[in-house]
Structure 1
């Protein structure tokens, strides 16, 4: 698939929101603005990140495709599950000893990503006008089953699958067609209005935003479906509002959007250490600007060429970038030696 800078910009923005959201999470109960900003981000940032993941899904179902998918997604999951378990133990994190079916940190995304691709094998055969509403109904209905929870990331898989499916059926031409000035103004106004409402109303329990618990586990066994449907509606409005505002222009940093999986898998190393070492002890509203700069720096670092080159074997299961780097280094050394001899 030909790369489109629009989606590189989009993925870069969304991974920044993921990192920023994780960075401010411990502060959301202490600083009013941070609490509102955290909820505002979590209303849409994973749905939109998942939607873009669905856009790049191929949806094949043959045996070779499934094996390749397992190597690309499940193998890194197991490797990082072990890595984070050991790492959390070394930095003194109390909840480090999680079972293999209970994902560490943000690794639930990998389990769900594999499952979404499997679900897509069947759902791609259903017309989107039927399949997408059906996916939303399944996401709503899953909350009524008490055995569907955080284990194996089952709850999140069903709750967020509709956005993955929407992304699969979405065409970039549709998005570009919607990017008119009036629609952009409306989109920006909508996002601002949601933030204002979030700021002045009571906070939504974070379990609703995570999508990882059954309704019974959140003490709304009867009315949970209605609440989730309302959150779906808000998320959809915010998702498409943000998509209308993503620039199609190429920037000097746009290419970093190609490496968002590296940022997603590795940023826990930095943020969890910062939490355990109490390095995030801020207490002023304006401090959130500093945290935004820190989040952007983390994204830039982990998406950089050097980190991607050396982390590629465990993230993607291949080492072509490392081989290229070694060849270039040998070439420079050889050229230097030849220059020394000639002089």
Structure 2
């Protein structure tokens, strides 16, 4: 299949934001600037990743397709679940063992991706608007129960499914309609205003509880048993707006090496924890002044480049893609 540069550019940017977000996460509770950046990134970066995954799920539902997905997603999940469990044991984490049903680190995405394809078998039969509205309603209602949480990534699967379903119904024509100069300007202003609002609110009130953005925590745990549904709806709306802004700004041209980075995002996603977790454990990273963000940016970009490089991909392909040769 011919690759479309826009999608590879988008994935390259998003995987950088995943790594960068994980780099700055330990400092979110100590810095208003970091907490605001972290919030903005986490409002949209995984929802947009999920939307792009949905766009490429057009063949979902066929028995052979589901079997292929099980091999490509569930087997790597089992392997990396074991590897991260071993890493946490070596690092001396108290809760190093969670069992096979509770995803380690960022492994929830593999389980949820499989779950979204299964849900799609039913939801793709519905009209697009109704399907998305129903999935949003389910995503909001699931927060009112404590029975669905981290286990098998059930909560995240249901909470983020609207974005996967929207991606399935998304077309290249829709993307072109979004990519206008006017929307770029409006979107940039919206993002700046939202960042300023979060930054000011955090300074005046309290640090933002980023568990709101994970999709894995019940409202009762967030002390919002009644208002939690409204908060999640607001997050859905903000995420959708920021995704539109990103689509408007992400270039459609092929930028060579940068665009190629978007082809190996799964490698970066699965492997970057083996770098970041030891950095966290041994307190190698620090943040005192705003300009030190440049260190995180450079290191995050370096991690993306290294983990998507040919030597690393060739070495880890049997674990990630379940095959020895390309």
TM-score, scaled to structure 2? 0.96
Name 1:138's counterpart in structure 2: 138
- Distance change in 2, residues 1:134/1:59 (3 Å): farther
2:226 pairs with one of 218, 222, 228: 222
> Is the 2:35–2:208 contact (alpha carbons within 8 Å) kept by the matching residues of 1?
no
> Is the 1:31–1:284 contact (alpha carbons within 8 Å) kept by the matching residues of 2?
no
Distance 1:62 1:45 in 2: 29
> Is the 2:156–2:216 contact (alpha carbons within 8 Å) kept by the matching residues of 1?
yes
Name 2:217's counterpart in structure 1: 213
Q: In the alignment, does 2:319 pair up with 1:317?
A: no
1:233 pairs with one of 226, 232, 237: 237
Name 2:42's counterpart in structure 1: 42
Moved more, 143-152 or 8-17: 143-152
Name 2:24's counterpart in structure 1: 24
Secondary structure of the corresponding residue to residue 272 of structure 2: helix
> Is the 2:59–2:65 contact (alpha carbons within 8 Å) kept by the matching residues of 1?
no
Distance 1:79 1:31 in 2: 36
Gaps of 5+ in 1: 322-343
Within-5 A mapping of 1:241-252 = 241-252=245-256
Name 1:186's counterpart in structure 2: 186
Q: In the alignment, does 2:61 pair up with 1:57?
A: no
Secondary structure of the corresponding residue to residue 320 of structure 1: coil
Secondary structure of the corresponding residue to residue 282 of structure 1: coil
Aligned length: 321
Runs of 4+ deviating beyond 3 Å: none
Distance 1:231 1:36 in 2: 15
Name 2:296's counterpart in structure 1: 291
Secondary structure of the corresponding residue to residue 276 of structure 2: helix
Name 2:2's counterpart in structure 1: 2
Q: Compare CA radii of gyration and give the structure with the larger one.
A: 1
Tell me by how many angstroms 1:224 deviates: 1.1
Within-5 A mapping of 1:186-205 = 186-202=186-202, 203-205=207-209
Tell me by how many angstroms 1:59 deviates: 4.1
Name 1:326's counterpart in structure 2: none
Within-5 A mapping of 1:88-107 = 88-107=88-107
Gaps of 5+ in 2: none
Name 2:75's counterpart in structure 1: 75
Secondary structure of the corresponding residue to residue 237 of structure 1: helix
Name 1:167's counterpart in structure 2: 167
